[in-house]
Amino acid sequence: MATRKNSTDDPLAPLTLAVGQEDLLLDRAVQQVVAAARAADADTDVRDLASDQLQPGTLAELTSPSLFAERKVVVVRNAQDLSADTIKDVKAYLDAPAEEITLVLLHAGGAKGKGLLDAARKAGAREVACPKTTKPAERLTFVRSEFRALGRSATPEACQALVDSIGSDLRELASAVSQLCADVAGTIDEAVVARYYTGRAEASSFTVADRAVEGRAAEALEALRWSLSTGVAPVLITSALAQGVRAIGKLSSARGGRPADLARELGMPPWKIDRVRQQMRGWTPDGVAVALRAVAEADAGVKGGGDDPEYALEKAVVAVARAARARR
């Protein structure tokens, strides 16, 4: 879980430093700041930049005073990859941060770009730790915290069964917890988890994703409509689609070997390796890239960037299914 290492607990602090390599936690650190900013000012301007988009002079332009004194959040991803000249700009800004602006730096935390990391800490940044979870016990703790955050009870055996079934991907674990909480009433126990992952009759976000990555567009669309009609949140469907496509990409680029060896290398349970191997027939590297872009667009659409979340999902499902048939 993301834990703050600085006593400052205000998401609207002038500078937030998210350190680590766990994408889910990094994204949540950004989302927390953006949510706080928009709660204070619904018209907050959010600029989310990759490191190569922040050139010398760009930060000064983004943080210059506005005639309308608007609140702004500037997010810089992979800050460790910034150029030397741009790092000078950021360090200079840290000495005199602008009012009504929150700068969020996402840094991998290694030796690369350590000077910027040290400067941000010296400037009193609010720090959020986002480390990769490498131990089963850490993933178990994560699952328990996810259930607690959603106000739900799950037995220790259920949490362990979920970790055993899903593997090490925190996004997938978080999505599974959310889906269980959305679909199951009362305390979630081991039997519920077992039933959920051994053949649910009703459609779920994972069913939609499975049919899409298998190139079965009609069945994926049918599952999508049923999922939406039964109350499955659109964001869970885009998450499942992303997980399905990423699994294809991971396995297609991995070295050959037994499922058990690949499971250790990729952080997936052996049963999932076998399933993804069957699903990846017909996929190409270009197809994976196209599908990920389509899912990213749908994700933005269901999170408020579009007028019709259902259409955004249908478009993504069709794009993924087509990408899955690139070699056929």
- CATH 1.10.8 maps onto the chain at 133-198
pTM: 0.58
Query: In the 8-state DSSP scheme, what is residue 142?
Result: H
CATH topology for 202-328 is Zinc Finger, Delta Prime; domain 3 (1.20.272)
pLDDT tens, residue order, the chain (328 aa): 444 444 468 899 999 999 999 988 999 999 999 999 999 988 898 999 988 899 999 999 888 876 566 789 999 999 999 999 999 999 999 998 988 899 999 999 989 999 999 999 999 999 999 998 888 888 899 999 999 999 999 999 889 888 877 777 788 889 889 989 988 889 999 888 877 765 343 346 888 998 999 999 998 998 888 878 766 778 888 988 998 999 888 888 775 666 666 666 676 666 677 778 888 888 999 999 999 999 999 988 887 766 788 999 999 999 999 999 876 5
CATH of the domain spanning 133-198, picked from 1.10.1760, 1.10.3470, 1.10.8, 1.20.1300: 1.10.8
pLDDT in the model for residue 215: 92
- CATH 1.20.272.10 maps onto the chain at 202-328
Longest pairwise C-alpha distance within the chain = 62
Q: At what angle do helices 309-323 and 217-229 cross, to 10 degrees?
A: 150
255: left (phi over 0), alpha (psi -120 to 50) or beta: beta
- CATH 3.40.50.300 maps onto the chain at 3-130
CATH topology for 3-130 is Rossmann fold (3.40.50)
Contact 233, 264 (CB under 8 A): no
Q: Could you read off the pLDDT of 120-137 as tens digits, one per residue?
A: 999 999 999 999 888 888
